Amino acid sequence: MSAHAVEQATAAEQTRLYDVCDYYDAESLLTGDERRVLGRLRSFLDEKARPLLADHWERGEFPAELAQPLIDLDLMEPAELTAEGPARGIYQGFRIFELARTDASLATWYTSQAGLFRTAIRVGASAEQQREWMPKVIDFSLKGVFSLTEPESGSDIAGGLATTARRVQDGEGDSWILDGAKRWIGGASTADVLAIFARDVADGQVKAFLVDREAAGVTLEKIHGKTALRMMQNAHITLEGVRVPESMRLHNVNSFRDVAAMLRAMRSDVAWIATGIQAGAFEAALHYVTERQQFGRPLGSFQLVQEKLARMLGNVTAALSLVVRLTEQQARGIYRDQDSALAKMQTCLLMRETVALAREVVGGNGITLETDVARFHADAEAVYSYEGTHEINALIVGRALTGESAFTR
Ligand SMILES: Cc1cc2nc3c(=O)[nH]c(=O)nc-3n(C[C@H](O)[C@H](O)[C@H](O)COP(=O)(O)OP(=O)(O)OC[C@H]3O[C@@H](n4cnc5c(N)ncnc54)[C@H](O)[C@@H]3O)c2cc1C
């Protein structure tokens, strides 16, 4: 390599965002503008968010003071990136990665609007509804949540969905009456509307409705006592005779097939979260073993510790390669159930190992909130289960491989 080339490579290295955890330089796929937006996010997270995380995690409260400044960062469709169209998938992936690398609840809070709710509107709303709602979704002036899971139906929600929708035409106009319950709904307590999936009693098909959080008949209860994602607020929602006008029904959702199309598009976001969590845990562990001394030497100088560092880096690199490739494929318009299911399943398996190794090399301090790894270690368990458990994603891949559905419904 010429002296000039070495100089150029060194300059690029110095300005890299992910010089530790992105070993094969996936970030080189980002444009300069995209990296600048992510750099701004990094500064905000380091300066304003990080100092609040341990305390809020322990108290089980979301740091509400971060919400508006995060919205103001204009991350969903940043003006400087969207002159010629919507933000690219690779930028969106790294945005989630950056958030999750700092904290899984912050990433989940952001993707519940930018991923789940936005996808519900993008896939489920008619063109006219999208014209009205999408700009408000993007600037967060219409905050929404994705309410699919029920107390008695998680993995088998397609067949088991029991919330009902009954159409009525009376003095109050063309509307629907919803009855049922939803469980685990992330961010519901601060949302304007709840996207509720319910079964039409007339044709048995699943439909979707935007329900005002404060509508008569809606009750929200916080789920207490969580040991993962403690900062993220999850709600148990009860719906008793809730009236929703026909205009608030998502007109393009006419069966569970349409819901499946949403899940297919959203699952890759979770794979990016699982990748970011690993990066955060690995970096925190690496920092710790460089500082902490035992037997008169840094922990990081011991062979057995270095083996664990290498495995963590291998996992992060494998996960990042996987999500980048999936995102490139989706950018070409290829969306298959098995692709995002495989990515969610595999990145979560790698994540579970990475956070456990990180916790291990930090020793006793790895179970305190001081070093960050305990938070990543605990939070990983929620990510492992939400938006399709390991088993359900494996069954989706298995069905594609064999042509045989092993689901029992
Ligand atoms: C923190 C958190 C946030 C969430 N946020 C949301 C949200 O915003 N919106 C929303 O709608 N939902 C949300 N969920 C719900 C989530 O998607 C469900 O928890 C998930 O789909 C699993 O459902 P379940 O918990 O009812 O587990 P269950 O379906 O009861 O499964 C329990 C276990 O049995 C296994 N299992 C089930 N069926 C089979 C089978 N056929 N073969 C083999 N094994 C099987 C599962 O893999 C799992 O290991 C959230 C969950 C959590 C924990």
Buried b (16+ CB within 10 A) or exposed e, 6-16: eeeeeeeeeee
Q: What is the CATH number of domain 144-254?
A: 2.40.110.10
**Residue 92 binned pLDDT confidence (cut-offs 50, 70, 90):** very high
Task: Please name the amino acid found at residue 334.
Answer: I
Is the pLDDT assigned to residue 11 strictly greater than 80?
no
The CATH H-level superfamily of 11-138 is Acyl-CoA dehydrogenase/oxidase, N-terminal domain (1.10.540.10)
Ligand 1 atom at minimum distance from 388 CA: 21
The residue nearest atom 27 of ligand 1, judged by CA position, is 154
Give this prediction's pTM. 0.95
- Residue 392 beta carbon below 6 angstroms from any ligand 1 atom: yes
Q: Alpha-carbon torsion 305, 311, 312, 313, what sign?
A: positive
- Residue 150 beta carbon below 6 angstroms from any ligand 1 atom: no
Tell me the chain's radius of gyration from C-alpha atoms: 22
- Residue 149 beta carbon below 6 angstroms from any ligand 1 atom: yes
Residue 50 dihedral angles phi and psi, to the nearest 5°: -50, -45
**Residue 364 binned pLDDT confidence (cut-offs 50, 70, 90):** very high
For residue 265, the model assigns a pLDDT of: 87
User: DSSP 3-state helix, strand, coil percentages of the chain (rounded to 5)?
Assistant: 60, 15, 25
Do residues 381 and 389 touch, judged by C-beta distance below 8 A?
no
- Residue 301 beta carbon below 6 angstroms from any ligand 1 atom: no
**pLDDT > 70 in the chain, percent:** 96
Task: Fold for 257-402, please state it.
Answer: Butyryl-CoA Dehydrogenase, subunit A; domain 3 (1.20.140)
For residue 4, the model assigns a pLDDT of: 55
- Averaged pLDDT for residues 72-87: 90
Do residues 217 and 144 touch, judged by C-beta distance below 8 A?
no
- Averaged pLDDT for residues 66-89: 92
Do residues 175 and 245 touch, judged by C-beta distance below 8 A?
yes
For residue 387, the model assigns a pLDDT of: 92
**pLDDT > 90 in the chain, percent:** 92
- Residue 391 beta carbon below 6 angstroms from any ligand 1 atom: yes
The residue nearest atom 30 of ligand 1, judged by CA position, is 154
For residue 270, the model assigns a pLDDT of: 97
Domains 11-138 and 257-402 share a fold: no
- Averaged pLDDT for residues 268-272: 96
CA of 385 to the centre of ligand 1 (A): 6
Is the pLDDT assigned to residue 9 strictly greater than 80?
no
Between CA 361 and CA 288 the distance in angstroms is 8
Task: Please name the amino acid found at residue 314.
Answer: G
| 13-43 pLDDT tens trace | 457 999 999 999 999 999 999 999 999 999 9
| 217-233 pLDDT tens trace | 999 999 999 999 999 99
Mean pLDDT computed over every residue of the chain: 95
Q: How many residues are recorded in the chain?
A: 409
Angle between helices 256-291 and 104-111 (to 10 degrees): 160
Do residues 385 and 309 touch, judged by C-beta distance below 8 A?
no
Q: Beta strands 206-212 and 297-298: pairing type?
A: unpaired
- Residue 185 beta carbon below 6 angstroms from any ligand 1 atom: yes
Domain boundaries, the chain: 11-138, 144-254, 257-402
Between CA 210 and CA 147 the distance in angstroms is 10
- Residue 273 beta carbon below 6 angstroms from any ligand 1 atom: no
